[in-house]
Structure 1
Amino acid sequence: MALTLYLHPLASFCHKVLIALYENAVQFRPVIVDLGDPSSAAAVLARWPAGKIPVLHDAARGRSVPETSIIIDYLQAYYPGPVALLPAETEARLEARLWDRFFDLHVGVPMQKIVTDRLRPEGGNDAIGVADAHRSLDIAYAMLDDQLAGRDWAAGADFTIADCAAAPSLFFAAIVHPFAPEQRHLAGYFERLLGRPSVRRTLREARPYFSLFPYREAMPERFLHD
């Protein structure tokens, strides 16, 4: 098998790439990595010394590809399928790329700040940083609720790279910072994401690891079973 994906099944950025792979039924070998274990991390560091996952290795082309958006771009270029996650038309492609970055940077990053702060040792918490992250999510949710009015997917009528980014970032963000009751467009979009087969599969595979999530007690019961 040409493709190997180095990942952790609880990592939201890994979920983003898994969704893209499953959308187009791309065959790959998953390798679960524990970056805290030097022997486990060695394979990733050999491919990408920055030590971040996911990393995709393509044995057929002798190339390792880091960074989620670049991995999805690479898959479309060399392992395309019926779902064009990056639209061919220029304006549509720019829109998809914009909201891909928005979900990573304006939803995923503050969500991770809130989550990882709970893992800090006693006395090392960053209350100001966490409060800023919650405010950032308020702004992001409001913008998304406006963006999603009258749209099925984040960038328009078609499922794109933006939705691959949206599903995991919103999944975890909604646990630590729920949507406001009036944000009906955002809530409806989230339900459409949860109904997507590629997203359902990714979450189902992550379920055995949910006990490791620092806000496990806040996770809705419906996420714990089919």
Structure 2
Amino acid sequence: MTTDIRLVVLDMAGTTVADDGLVERAFRAAADELGVEAGDAEHQRMLEHVRATMGESKISVFRHLFGAEDRAQRANLAFESAYHDLVDAGHCSALPGAAEAIEQLRSAGRKVVLTTGFSRATQDRILKALGWEEIADLTLCPAEAGRGRPYPDMVLTALLRTQTDSVRRIAVAGDTGYDMLTGTRAGASVVAGVLTGAHREERLRADGATHVLASVAELPALLDG
């Protein structure tokens, strides 16, 4: 497609890392901590919101769901604790072809930045579990960029930190509509949705995907094509 892309910003859970329901399982622990019983109408409403906002900063999701800051922080701590337990128990794996795709992108002279809606503590837990501490040029979480998705902050922070000279030389890839919004709002030339995670092609295209791929494994060929 183009050899002009110099920076590739990749989402983690659902794009390069298998989710396998871990976010929803950890959310149930957070809801339980706040006294929301599984199976009732309120729990289902909250779960639907979590699914719709996959990719957004998790603390932002909990602020929407629980209102008061102290309740949102309690929910977020419970979520992170449950997610960490799942990762530590071995329920964390790379999606097929993801590591190889990152290697191909970097071998072609492109910078690769991994981004997430999780906190730095959770992001680091995942990277350590996968042995990915050095796999990318940079990793970013919302707190390190200003705002999380769907704002463009993480992509633009990646541009600044890697000294990329134009937003038109950026490709963004992710599995959620929020990833697509982030990419389009940042001015990226390529905003690629992948079908290995939360949202389907209709949502990805509605939120600005320039391309929809079966998986991130197809991204190097798209950029080199």
TM-score w.r.t. structure 1 length?
Answer: 0.34
TM-score with structure 2 length normalisation?
0.34
Higher helix share: 1
Relative contact order, CA 8 A, sep 6+: which one is greater?
A: 2
